[in-house]
Structure 1
Amino acid sequence: MIKARVTVTLKNGVLDPQGKAIEGALGSLGFEGVHQVRQGKVFDLEIDGTDKGQAEANLKTMCDKLLANTVIENYTIAID
């Protein structure tokens, strides 16, 4: 069993209204000095098999087809 984490974030230059809302809410809660909040999403997956190379290739395909909108999002893959 291979464990992996995929982190998806918006590309630089893409507006992030949710990040701005979080930034404003943190300020309202008294957390001063917080700037440039960007939100993203994390996927933890367990994949059958032991070949890390094949798992990474499959994860890239998963990201390109479903997990990330590669027009506006970047992703990173970490395999344990």
Structure 2
Amino acid sequence: MDEQPRRPLLRVVRGTPDDVELAALTAVVAGLASSVGGGETAPRPRSAWADPARRLRQPLRPGPGAWRASALPR
């Protein structure tokens, strides 16, 4: 098999980082790369049936004829 030499993922341009600093930098860059375009799909919109706000009671509106309107669907 013909193997081509790989380019390094990171290259230190200035300074001499130790192993711990390189490991931290690699972890941060890998985490950012996976969250940006790692093939994640957009979250699906929530159905109105699953909306927790539907379980809340509508506010009471006192006034003339309110007792009749309380039994009517909205």
TM-score (norm 2): 0.29
Q: Which has the larger radius of gyration?
A: 2
Instruction: Select the structure that is richer in strand.
Output: 1
Structure (1 or 2) with the greater helix fraction: 2
